[in-house]
Structure 1
Amino acid sequence: MIDTFVALLLAHALADFPLQSDALAQAKQDRSPRALALHALIVMATATLAIAPTRAEALIPLAVLTLAHILIDIAKTYAPNTLASFLVDQAAHIGTLVAIAVLHPTLFGQGLYADTPLLPSIMTAIAGLIIATQAGGYAVGLLVRPFGRAFRAEGLPRGGVMIGLLERGLIFLFVLAGQPSAVGFLIAAKSVLRFDASKRKQKAAEYVIIGTLASFGWALICAYATLALLDHLPPLGIKALKD
């Protein structure tokens, strides 16, 4: 069952983040039929590629999953675009993944990848990285957005977004490599490089602190959740992951 779940989790992470542009997300928010249909196609395609079913009837639960995904997305358009609604939306999506995995536990094992025991572990690591970095960026952005209106942000265009992606990616990799203590050095480095630049602007400093703590916290949660899933899957063969 867990191999089916992690395969679908990777498919979901890909469909909702790297394969969903800002323009597509906005069009979905406006309930554009074309955008919803395109997103449904992406969801179905990624789920099908992740499971690689060998029987036509295996496409039925994937089609149900796709329909549930789009219905959840439509429901989200009626809620304000806040961190809470984003978390509820993602929890609902993950709930549908769990339901499909429970009802169809052999979906992955009966597909083309059945003889690749390490693949679910690799899928878990990739899905965790996407959720830690890209989903985390969206979540942190929603959290700090109200505070950002209090002052005019300065710096490179999308510089903060890139810094956030890099720091969450590094934290995720440090934890999976069994070196969580390295996160402390990352905090110290960011403190020197960024907090000092805003120490004379209290609003900017507080904005950076809130965003940093949220970003680090999100990455740590994703990393340890990924490790928890990996504990139930074949080891990847990287010694550091288990040390």
Structure 2
Amino acid sequence: MHPALVAGIWAGALLVSSAGGWLVTRLVLRLASRSRDAGRARRSGPVVLQPLRVSDGPDGEGAQTVLRGGTWIGVLERLAVTASLLAGVPEGVAVVVAVKGLGRYPELRENPGASERFVIGTLASLLWSAAVGTLAQRLVG
């Protein structure tokens, strides 16, 4: 395959992974925040339903405040995952997941809404970037 075509596939895959992943992740987080139990802690005993506040759930104000910088971290995460798969180094995905999880752990420990947002957003982002990276890698051959 011509090197210019390979470079074009790489560039296109990285662009689709980063920009498209942002859209996919936002959509998944919005859908998750609409679930009936978004942001509610599990308790034993009788269940008392209370109305949700704007700050509840994975897409709520509280979770977004705790996870500052998440948009940029997500873009970098998707670029790293897609590039790792394109380069034929799938172990790079494990490094990205480990660094991201360890870096966010102190913030997530105390905030269930932020923790839920982190898990949902990370999984949506990783699935998208892995799909794009795998498809592009197969195109490059």
User: Taking structure 1 as the reference length, what is the TM-score of the superposition?
Assistant: 0.44
2:15 is aligned with 1:130: yes
Secondary structure in 2 aligned to 1:154?
A: helix
Aligned to 2:125: 215
Contact 1:151 1:204 in 2 (8 A): no
Deviations 1:180-227 (A, max 9, x none): 112112211111111331122212101110000111111111001001
How has the CA–CA distance of structure 1 residues 185 and 126 changed in structure 2, closer, same or farther, with 3 Å as cutoff?
Answer: same
Q: 1:149 to 1:180 in 2, by over 3 A?
A: closer
2:94 corresponds in structure 1 to: 184
Matches of 1:137 and 1:206, distance apart in 2: 17
1:143 Cα deviation (Å)? Answer: 1.2
Change (3 A) 1:199 1:174: same
Mapped partners of 2:22, 2:132: distance in 1: 13
Structure 1 match to 2:65:
154
Check the 8 A contact 2:18/2:78 in 1, yes or no. Answer: yes
Question: Which 4+ residue blocks in structure 1 deviate beyond 6 angstroms?
Answer: none
Alignment of 1:28-43 (within 5 A): none
CA distance, structure 2, for counterparts of residue 155 and residue 140 of structure 1 = 17
Which amino acid counterpart does residue 141 of structure 1 have in structure 2?
Answer: R
Asked whether the 8 Å contact 2:66–2:114 carries over to 1, the reply is: no
Q: CA RMSD in A?
A: 2.0
1:139 CA drift (Å): 1.2
Which residue is equivalent to 2:136?
226
Give the 3 Å change call, closer, same or farther, for CA 149–124 of structure 1 in structure 2. closer
Paired residues, number: 115
**1:144–1:210: 8 Å Cα contact kept in structure 2?**
yes
User: Is 1:167 aligned to 2:77, yes or no?
Assistant: yes
- TM-superposed CA distance for 1:178, in Å, is 1.7
TM-score by length of 2: 0.73
Q: Choose 1 or 2 for highest CA Rg.
A: 1
- Structure 1 unpaired stretches of 5+: 4-116, 232-243
Deviations 1:154-191 (A, max 9, x none): 1586x211101101101111112221112112211111
Q: Which residue identity lines up with residue 167 of structure 1 in the other structure?
A: E
Choose the corresponding residue for 1:200, options 97, 105, 110: 110
**Structure 1 residues 140 and 201, CA gap change in structure 2 (3 angstroms):** same
